[in-house]
Amino acid sequence: MNKTIKTTGLTHQTVVSISRHKSEPKWMLQRRLQALKLFQARALPTWGADLSQLDFSQFRYYRPAPTKPQTRWQDLPPKIRTTFEKLGLPQAEQEALAGIKAQYDSEIIYSSLKQRLARKGVVFVSMEEGVQQYPQLVRQYFGRLVPPQDNKFAALNTAVWSGGSFIYVPPKVKVAIPLQAYFRINSPHFGQFERTLIIADEGSFLHYIEGCTAPTYSSASLHAAVVEIFVKPRARVRYTTIQNWSTNVYNLVTKRAWVEEEAVMEWVDGNLGSKVTMKYPCCILAGPKAHGEMLSLALASHQQHQDTGAKMIHLAPQTSSQIVAKSIAKDGGRTSYRGLVKIAPRAEGARSQISCDALILDPQSRSDTYPLNQIETAKAIVEHEATVSQISQDQLFYLTSRGFDEMRARALIVAGFIQPLVKQLPLEYAVELNRLIELEMEGAVG
Amino acid sequence: MLKLDQITVQVEGQTVVNQLSLTVQPGQITVLMGPNGSGKTSLLLALAGHPHYQLKGRVTLDGQRIDQLAPEKRARQGLFLGFQTPIAIPGLDPVAFLWEALQQQGQSATLEAIRNQMQHQLKQLALKETVLDHGLNQGLSGGERKKLELLQALILKPKYALLDEPDSGLDIESLQLVAQAIKRLSRQGTGCLVVTHYPRMARQLQPNQVFIIRAGRIVAQGQQELIDQIEAQGYQDLSP
Amino acid sequence: MKTQLIWLKPGQHQIETRLATKEEQTILVLGWFQNQDQTQVELTIRHQAAQSHSQILIRVGGQDQARIKVQTRIIIEPQAQEAQAELQSKTLLLDQAQAQVQPELEIKTNQVRASHAASIGSLDPNQLFYLQQRGLKPQQARRQLIRAFFHQGTWFKNQSIQKQLTNYLSSL
């Protein structure tokens, strides 16, 4: 039977087709359909970036994996092509990033990795495989932290999700190397509606990395991903994302971690691309002495709006959190920090420290800070500080008096500014991120 | 030589240095002393090309006129400024920074070689090795930052170094180390113009020349006996 | 330079101030709340012209079941080149008091310096103990420290402000 499926717009039939294509069990289809209803009923958020131009009827929600390349090199926006060239990426990688090749050639790495992981009982598969192979686990945790009722884009993701990772780390197992999204073969290098679920059992350790620093062209203009992470007692998870989506993309992401007793959750977030990003990684510090950290960098250039931040919710005693948010606004870009620190009455002895540092490089750009601190117990300490300025004239003079060109001096100062984040990245990301920022600074006026 | 010819410096419409002339010879130490507010720091910042200061007059460095040049160009001509309150640049690796500054001056060396030189100088100045692990001047006290300025000069080997109060805020042991470092700098060939309040430091340097500045003007010029005079009688007797 | 001292009473307050060219303003916002007091403050500082300079100091706190909400918004418009804005906010909570603090910034041009520091906490138990060890009863020690909280900082060493502060705090 050949059913014609509408290629744009989101209907009941679209969702059914997606689920059928993935051969999903009934319970997942039911969740998708329920989420669809919630998506249709829910209004857009009234705060944050400007989403008024989103037209849901125009998007494609269902894409079978392409057998032939979708884009030609010469069709890519010139800025992306130039940046690739300047970054000196090998041809194959350029093509993969541009979506020209359907998969990244990492078969050999992945199979040996998969073997080593399997020996330790670590599960690292696509979300689809997770649903098929570990239904009990997935059913128990999927949607518990980010239910479709949470917000319109969580509902959308729950209805049409495709791709993403499912990871389970058994108790006391420490995964020594960072797991990266592109290790999984047969996954497209990027996904519109990725759904990731990570469960780190007691005492385990995992570092997961997704995204990349190089500009990534996406013909899909709406990205709504959901990431749910369960950090069991005394476990530690670090989740690193660097996104550099092309400037046609609305990147709306819900990321949340549930952190239990004495566990640690670290979000490392780099937002360099997209037209609009709304993303506020969240730690729910649910167990005593749980610790949450967020280290983020936002770069907004011409016509970009990075509306990003963090949420730390302290529900238990002696919990602690730290947020370090750095941003750079240039060429008319806008960066907004939006944060929430909530300390519940039970969270006695909680401590939270927030520091926001924003650079504005020229008069056309804009930087905002919208922090919300809700303290419901006297037995807690919250410290928040923020600064917004251009590059310090004193620092500039110090470097020029040592013989550096003004442009080089600016680049050095900005490199120093982002260094705390770069330091936390694996080497190849760090190198690329530094080069990318240098390139951006070359183009900057102020 | 570094020649200052009838230099006037203005900041925010106020004249802080008035018709000042002096010379600094290569490999020699010239001390400039004066009470607070006499214009010493303004003079040095203006010589380095700080944008807030307007400098009139002629400044020549080994025959080349530098008073119209941008700060980085003056630096490349061989001028070094040791700041009174050196600013921190978080995240900027001190070794990479100094290596690149050397490259600018046309002196090449490997990063390893620079690191070794820096570690050697750190010991000589009684600075902790961990200084190299942080951003430039990050987490350092005022005194430590001043020592780091000297360390940079010793490695950059500029033709002329303007040192703005390298002694203020230092304890006795550090004073001696700093004085020794400045002498080493001059022995390497750098002509040093050292601004200081304190007769003790001035004396330790055994300068070739001493100038006294008050209210933006040179009021006395001499040798070491001038230092003794200041120590005994202060600055009041010398009026502009 | 204009200095304003605002002592808040329970209830809702909306304060807005604009700064013109080269204008300097210092605003001190203070308040101590108790019992079931509910207080909401919305303070907007708008820099509309060049070289304006604002300094905001907030010291608020409460005991019992007081509920305090402080929202500050510093806005620097594009034409306010070389503007400077500093905000320092300290909130002291005792007993079951709760606070919501939102220090917001909207900066629309680059040659400016805007900074804020906001902290929320309680009394230092070491300080409490110190005073008690010197003979003060717990309630007395507490009162002393609350007074000290308001007198902290060089701004509060100004004579006229000291007098006003002492007046306000005498009811504690």
pLDDT digits (tens, 9 = 90+) for A106-146: 555 667 777 888 899 999 988 999 999 999 999 999 999 99
Instruction: Please give the Cα distance from C152 to C169 (Å, whole number).
Output: 14
| More confident site: A109 or B162 | B162
| Residue A445 token pair | 């006026």
Q: What is the pLDDT of residue A241?
A: 93
Ordered domains of chain B (ranges, CATH): 2-89+158-233 (3.40.50.300)
Contact A190, A163 (CB under 8 A): no
| Same-domain check for residues C112 and C137 | no
Q: How confident is the model at residue B173 (pLDDT cuts 50, 70, 90)?
A: confident
Residue numbers in A near B72 (CB within 8 A)? 400-406, 409
Confidence of residue A64 (pLDDT cuts 50, 70, 90): low
Pure H helices in chain B = 40-48, 71-77, 94-104, 111-124, 142-156, 172-187, 199-205, 224-233
Same domain, yes or no, for C72 and C25? yes
Same domain? A263 vs A402: no
- Pairing between strand A320-329 and A291-300? parallel
Domain holding A167, by residue range, is 12-279
Q: How far apart are CA C72 and CA C95, in angstroms?
A: 25
Which of A7-11, A53-57, A316-320 shows the lowest per-residue confidence on average (mean pLDDT)?
A7-11
CB within 8 Å: A400 and B91: no
pLDDT of A232 over the 60 cut: yes
| Amino acid A9: pLDDT | 77
Lowest mean per-residue pLDDT among A210-214, B66-70, B120-124, C91-95: A210-214
Q: Which residue in A393, A398, A415 is closest to B91 by CB distance?
A: A415
Of A207-216, A349-358, B174-183, C18-27, which range is least confident?
A: A207-216
Closest-CA distance of chain A to residue B87, Å: 6
At residue A100, the pLDDT reads 47
Helix and strand element counts for chain B (H, E): 8, 10
Condensed to tens digits (0 to 9), the pLDDT of residues A431-443 reads 889 988 888 888 6
Do residues C141 and C93 both lie within one domain?
no
What's the pLDDT band for A67 if we cut at 50, 70, 90?
very low
Chain A residues inside the 8 Å CB shell of B87: 392, 394-395, 398
Q: pLDDT exceeding 70 applies to what percent of chain B?
A: 99
Lowest model confidence (mean pLDDT) among A394-403, B86-95, C5-14: B86-95
C-alpha distance from C70 to closest chain A C-alpha (Å): 10
State the pLDDT at residue A101: 43
Kindly state whether residues C38 and C90 are assigned to the same domain: yes
pTM, 2 dp: 0.85
Could you say which DSSP state residue C109 is in? -
Can you give the pLDDT at residue C155?
A: 66
Residue A380 sits at the chain C interface (C-beta within 8 Å): yes
Out of B86, B89, B104, closest to residue A403 by CB:
B104
Number of domains in chain C: 2
- C129 and C61 in a common domain: no
pLDDT in tens, A244-295: 888 888 999 999 999 999 999 999 999 999 999 999 999 999 999 999 999 9
Is A286 among the domain residues? no
Which of C99, C105, C106 is closest, CB to CB, to A375? C99
Nearest-CB residue to A388 (from C81, C97, C114): C114
d(CA A28, CA A38): 15
Band of residue A445 on the pLDDT scale cut at 50, 70, 90: very low
Q: For residue A177, what pLDDT is reported?
A: 84
Question: What's the confidence (pLDDT) of residue B19?
Answer: 94
* Location of structure tokens 């804005």: C85
Q: Do chains B and C touch (3 or more CB pairs under 8 A)?
A: no
Query: Based on the domain organization, do C163 and C101 belong to the same domain?
Result: no
Q: What pLDDT score was predicted for residue A220?
A: 73
If asked whether residues C75 and C54 sit together in one domain, one would say yes
Q: Does A384 touch chain C (CB under 8 A)?
A: yes
Residues from chain A contacting residue B46 (CB–CB below 8 Å): none
| Selected residue of C82, C107, C149 to mutate for chain A interface (largest A Cβ count, 10 A) | C107
Would you state the pLDDT for residue A191? 65
Burial of residue A101 (number of CB atoms within 10 Å: 0-12, 13-18, 19+): middle
Asked whether residue C52 falls in the same domain as residue C134, the answer is no
Last residue of a domain, one of A279, A301, A328: A279
Q: Determine the pLDDT at residue A115.
A: 82
Average pLDDT over residues C5-23: 94
| Best CA proximity match to B104, nearest among B141, B172, B168, B152 | B152
Shared-domain flag, residues C93 and C134: no
Distances (CA, A) of A114 to A1, A13, A119, A132, A208: 38, 36, 9, 18, 15
Of A18-22, A141-145, A198-202, C43-47, least confident by mean pLDDT is A18-22
pLDDT tens profile A323-342: 999 999 999 999 999 999 99
Mean residue pLDDT of chain B comes to 92
CB within 8 Å: A398 and B83: yes
Domain shared by C53 and C84, yes or no: yes
Identify the pLDDT of residue A429.
85
Residues C117 and C138 in one domain: no
Q: How far apart are CA A66 and CA A74, in angstroms?
A: 19
**DSSP string covering A401-446:** HTT--HHHHHHHHHHHHHHHHHTTS-HHHHHHHHHHHHHHHHH---
CB contact A340 to C (< 8 Å): no
Residue A362 has pLDDT above 60, yes or no: yes
Asked whether residue A250 is domain-assigned, the answer is yes
User: For residue B205, what pLDDT is reported?
Assistant: 94
Q: Is A258 within the bounds of a domain?
A: yes
- DSSP code at position A218: -
Q: Choose from A51-55, A195-199, C139-143 the range with maximum mean pLDDT.
A: A195-199
Name the average pLDDT for chain A.
87
Domain holding C128, by residue range, is 124-172
- Interface chains of chain B (3 or more CB pairs under 8 Å): A
Q: Which residue has the higher pLDDT, C130 or A199?
A: A199
B81 → chain A, closest CA residue: A401
Chain B residue with Cα closest to A407? B72
Sign of CA dihedral A129, A135, A141, A144: positive
Query: For testing the chain C interface, which of A379, A389, A391 should be mutated: the one with the most C CBs within 10 Å?
Result: A389
pLDDT at A182: 60
Q: Identify the band that residue B233 occupies on the pLDDT scale cut at 50, 70 and 90.
A: confident
Which of C122, C142, C157 finishes a domain? C122
- Final residue before a domain boundary, out of A261, A279, A297: A279
Q: Is residue A25 domain-resident?
A: yes
Picking from C122, C139, C163, the residue at the C-terminal end of a domain is C122
Quick check: B221 and B61 in contact, CB under 8 A?
no
Task: Tell me: do C153 and C81 sit in the same domain.
Answer: no
Percent of chain C with pLDDT over 90: 67
pLDDT at C83: 96
pLDDT at B47 over 80: yes
Q: Is residue A149 domain-resident?
A: yes
Residue A169 lies in a domain: yes
Per the structure, the count of domains in chain A is: 2
Q: Nearest C-alpha of chain C: how many angstroms from A334? A: 9
Interface confidence, given as ipTM, is 0.91
Last residue of a domain, one of C80, C101, C122: C122
Query: Among candidates A229, A288, A295, which has minimal Cα distance to A263?
Result: A288
Cα–Cα distance measured from residue C84 to residue C77, given in angstroms and rounded to the nearest whole number: 12
Residue finishing a domain among A279, A305, A329: A279
Task: Give residue A71's pLDDT.
Answer: 59
Q: How do residues B185-226 score in pLDDT, each as one tens digit? A: 999 999 999 998 778 889 999 999 999 999 999 999 999 899
Nearest CA distance, A313 vs chain B (angstrom): 30
In a domain? residue A129: yes
